[in-house]
Amino acid sequence: MKTHIVSPNQEWLERAKEHILQGGVVAFHTETVYGLGANAFNDEAVKSIFALKGRPADNPLIAHVHRDYDISKIVDEVPAYTEKLRKAFLPGPLTMVYPSKGKVSRYVSCGLDTLAIRVPSSLAAQAFLREVDLPIAAPSANRSKHVSPVTAQHVYDDFEGKIPLILDGGACDGGIESTVLDCTGEIPVILRAGLVTREMIKSVVGACGVYEKKAGERPKSPGMAYKHYAPKCKTAYFTAEEIGQAIVCYREEEEKGGRPYFFLESGFAKELTKKGFRVFDLGETGEQMAQRLYAALRQAETQATLLIAIEPSVRGGVMDGVMNRLTRAFGRTNDET
């Protein structure tokens, strides 16, 4: 199969729709990361996403819909606060988990009685979803555990020859995946931190919890239990206090004939560049770091033999999501992997 990277004009949108109606898989741009989509009503199509990605069978998918799609067709009664959240944040990088009506394929939610729904704001995503007028089950368009894709080329690198179309909407502005919010209880609870922050949600509905998995419990958002976002090169992770050790680690890699790079926020990046070290500069603010994180990891894996992260100093807001991705990419998470 030849994989085409195409602009989401009417002609290609119609071709994309044909593929979807025939049970095929189409990659598409969103404002967070690229998605790998299939008709959420079609069992075989949904199963093929898991096969393509090498995704564990217990990690549920998000159903993507256009802004005017009537979600009451697929989800049950929802708490009153969800209306405020939809008004405030949708279309946008917030995925809301509702009680499911069980109308979409059972493979979308992997047997859970809930369904995650996202209304992406990107023009390319909206055009595609409107054209098909179906819920599209879509994970991020990367091979399982690999770094999420923020350009059409990243998708191509993981799925060349395996999918027919990539709807190219350019680089993704957001850079990390949507916030996943459990909306089945009395107050909303964040299952995966992302671009819509806890502070933002609290300011609209007053309260917002953050899910913490208790020892031995099956995680509520199963995807969070896996090592994820990992570049193909070796990695190491140090706190800012451990900078001395990080430099020793860099030197040792060079002595072995390797090509180490640092991976860190602007302040340190500037200092270390002056001293002649190779660096990837993630920027200064949480938003910048979110936007650059995956692109930098994808670039790093083609250039570095060892990537050495120094923990950023910025905290709060979008950094909750950035730190979650960073510690997973570098194998530094407390969760079981």
Q: Near ligand TXA by CB under 6 A, which window of 10-18, 70-78, 115-123, 279-287?
A: 115-123
**In the chain, how long is the greatest CA-to-CA distance?**
62
What x/- string results for residues 199 through 238 when contact with ligand TXA is judged by CB under 6 A? ---------------------xxxxx--------------
Binding of residue 298 to ligand TXA (CB under 6 A): no
Residue pair 53/37 in contact (Cβ under 8 Å)? The answer is: no
Residue number, 35 or 283, with CB nearest to ligand TXA: 35
Least distance CB 244 / ligand TXA (angstroms):
36
Residue pair 169/150 in contact (Cβ under 8 Å)? The answer is: no
Give kind and range of the element (H or E) at residue 104: none
What x/- string results for residues 37 through 76 when contact with ligand TXA is judged by CB under 6 A? ----------------------xxxx--------------
Residue 305: both structure tokens together:
């033999």
Residue pair 259/291 in contact (Cβ under 8 Å)? The answer is: no
Residue 109: contacted member of Mg ion, ligand TXA, none (CB under 5 to 8 Å, by partner type): ligand TXA
Nearest partner of 264 among 317, 318, 308, 322, judged by Cα: 308
Least distance CB 55 / ligand TXA (angstroms):
8
Cite the beta strand spans of 92-233 per DSSP E. Answer: 94-99, 114-118, 136-138, 165-167, 179-182, 189-192, 209-210
Residue 151: contacted member of Mg ion, ligand TXA, none (CB under 5 to 8 Å, by partner type): none
Cite the beta strand spans of 141-246 per DSSP E. Answer: 165-167, 179-182, 189-192, 209-210, 234-238
DSSP letter string, 315-335: -STTHHHHHHHHHHHTT--SS
Binding of residue 99 to ligand TXA (CB under 6 A): no
Sheet holding 4-6, edge to edge: 4-6, 165-167, 26-28, 35-39, 136-138, 62-64, 114-118, 94-99, 179-182, 189-192, 209-210
Residue pair 23/39 in contact (Cβ under 8 Å)? The answer is: yes
What x/- string results for residues 277 through 296 when contact with ligand TXA is judged by CB under 6 A? --------------------
Number of residues that bind ligand TXA (CB under 6 A): 31
Binder among 114, 122, 151, 197 for ligand TXA (CB under 6 A): 114
Binder among 5, 6, 88, 112 for ligand TXA (CB under 6 A): 112
Least distance CB 280 / ligand TXA (angstroms):
22
Binding of residue 197 to ligand TXA (CB under 6 A): no
Binding site for ligand TXA (CB under 6 A): 30, 32-33, 35, 59-62, 93, 95, 97, 109, 112, 114-116, 118, 120, 138-140, 177-178, 180, 191-192, 220-224
